[in-house]
Amino acid sequence: MSQSSVAVPIPTYMSDAERAVRIDLAGCYRLVALYGWDDLVFTHISARVPGPEHRFLINPYGMMFEEITASSLVKVDADGTPWETPRMRSIPRASPSIRRCTRSATTPAA
């Protein structure tokens, strides 16, 4: 059975740059699963969404890496608060050390 290529419309709240990052990140999750580098549900890979806001894409809680798609990723801020999520999904709660790391990685150097 062959698969056809279908163009998926970009939602009004998503830029071309965000869509590209979503596709790349979902592919990264799938490759990590393919090579057996995933370990249960508390591992994650994240990517920063291009733009002036400090938003990140992360996997929804409870999904296996091989199940992640570009549209299933959740956009969050540095505190883990979901932003512009089409369907509310549960996300892993970040520990304070993770939040500090995220903030320090996104703070411009003086």
Interval 74-83: pLDDT, tens: 999 988 888 8
109 or 68, which is more confident: 68
In a domain, 87, yes or no: yes
67 or 94, which is more confident: 67
Tell me the average pLDDT of the chain. Answer: 75
Provide the CATH number for the domain around residue 97: 3.40.225.10
Give the domain extent around 82: 16-104
pLDDT category at 5 given cuts 50, 70, 90 is very low
In a domain, 4, yes or no: no
| pTM attached to this predicted model | 0.67
| Distance (Å, whole) CA 98 – CA 104 | 10
Number of structural domains (the chain) is 1
Task: Name residue 62's amino acid.
Answer: G
Task: Enumerate residues 6+ apart whose C-beta is below 8 A from 11.
Answer: 86
pLDDT of residue 17: 93
In a domain, 5, yes or no: no
pLDDT of residue 53: 87
Phi and psi at residue 38, to the nearest 5°: -90, 150
